[in-house]
């Protein structure tokens, strides 16, 4: 991955975190954990975790509804000519890592 892609990923992660903090209703803790880029930066998947886990689907629905609002917010914070298409996804990898940590603690 190029240095430009790494910088873009970190920028998206930072701005997504700010947006979620601003827009959420504080009934759950939403953490932006990772960003992946595809199609040379034209598509971006933003991964997140939620506590309590029972709120994951509600948060996913909320963030998917807010994609266009996030795009407008991102446009005001990042001076870019061509913005990527943004999508939000639950970070299953982080959930699996936490589960493995829990199992190893119980051994």
Average pLDDT over residues 50-69: 94
Helices first, then strands: H and E counts in the chain: 4, 3
What is Dmax (Cα atoms) for the chain? 52
Please, which residues have CB within 8 angstroms of residue 19's CB and are 6 or more apart in sequence? 66, 69, 70, 73, 74
Q: Dump pLDDT digits (tens) for 62-83.
A: 999 999 999 999 999 998 888 9
Delineate the domains of the chain, giving CATH numbers in brackets.
3-106 (3.30.300.20)
Q: Quote the pLDDT of residue 31.
A: 94
Q: Taking the CA atoms of the chain, what radius of gyration do you get in angstroms? A: 15
């Amino acid at each position: 991955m190029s240095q430009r892609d790494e910088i873009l990923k970190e920028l998206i992660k930072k701005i997504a975190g700010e947006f979620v903090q601003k827009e959420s209703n504080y009934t759950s803790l939403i953490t932006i954990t990772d960003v992946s880029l595809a199609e040379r930066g034209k598509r971006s998947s933003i991964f997140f975790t939620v506590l309590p886990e029972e709120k994951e689907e509600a948060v996913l629905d909320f963030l998917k509804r807010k994609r266009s609002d996030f795009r407008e917010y991102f446009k005001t914070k990042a001076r870019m000519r061509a913005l990527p298409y943004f999508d939000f996804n639950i970070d299953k990898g982080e959930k699996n890592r936490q589960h493995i940590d829990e199992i190893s603690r119980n051994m």
